[in-house]
Amino acid sequence: MSGETVKASEVQHPLMRHHVSRLRDVATQPEEFRSCVRRLAELLAYEATQDLALEPLEVTTPLTAMTGSKLAQRIALVPILRAGLGMVEPILDLIPSSEVWHLGLYRDEATAQPVEYYSKLPESEPSDVALVLDPMLATGGSACAALSALQRWGVERCQVLSIIAAPEGIEEVSRLFPDVSIHVCAIDEQLNANKFIVPGLGDAGDRIFNTQR
């Protein structure tokens, strides 16, 4: 690792700001919430994958032969269950050859620490690039746990894609994984006493899957 702290890239785009505002609104219903998450995930993935490696590809068009390009790396999408599932489909549409590996983590409400309850990562043949998908980067605990697992697997390059993030979560990921880039739609003000992002958008998993009570 380089030791140089990598700060988050807050993607500045009018569409981002529009859809994030719709997510935040308490009146936004689950169907629209899911649609906004998908749109934002696609925009984030576009931003995060601008420097993927390519290799030549010979193509025959209806008129002639030419040399095009194809992705040269194995790419893994790693959604943190369960909210991260809402970001998978639009990125698969962009990168159909991606592998999808699931990590199940939940936050212990007493300690605010992540607890792993499920992992589908194999023990060998790591992907070249891994995109960790977590709509909300709060304390950074879940993202760091996922990055630790990917590091043990042997992935050389990891990135975190989140819809919103708290400064505390960004600092924690950057402190422990200084070579990992973070791409977010919006950086919020802070965490409150209960470690929830403020102003935030509530519980992303509950709002995606309509399980609010």
Give the catalytic positions in this structure: 107, 111, 203, 206
Conformation bin of residue 194: beta by default, left when phi > 0, alpha when psi is -120 to 50 = alpha
Q: Which residue has the tokens 């719709």?
A: 22
51, 54, 65, 127 from 57: Cα distances, Å: 18, 9, 11, 21
Q: Give the burial class of 198: count Cβ atoms within 10 A of its Cβ; 0-12 exposed, 13-18 middle, 19 or more buried.
A: exposed
Determine contact, residues 196/183, Cβ cutoff 8 Å. Answer: no
Q: Which of 145, 98, 101 minimizes the C-alpha distance to 123? A: 101
Q: What is the DSSP string of 113-176?
A: -EEEEEE---SSS--SEEEEE-SEESSSHHHHHHHHHHHHHT-SEEEEEEEEE-HHHHHHHHHH
* CA–CA separation, 166 and 200 (whole Å): 9
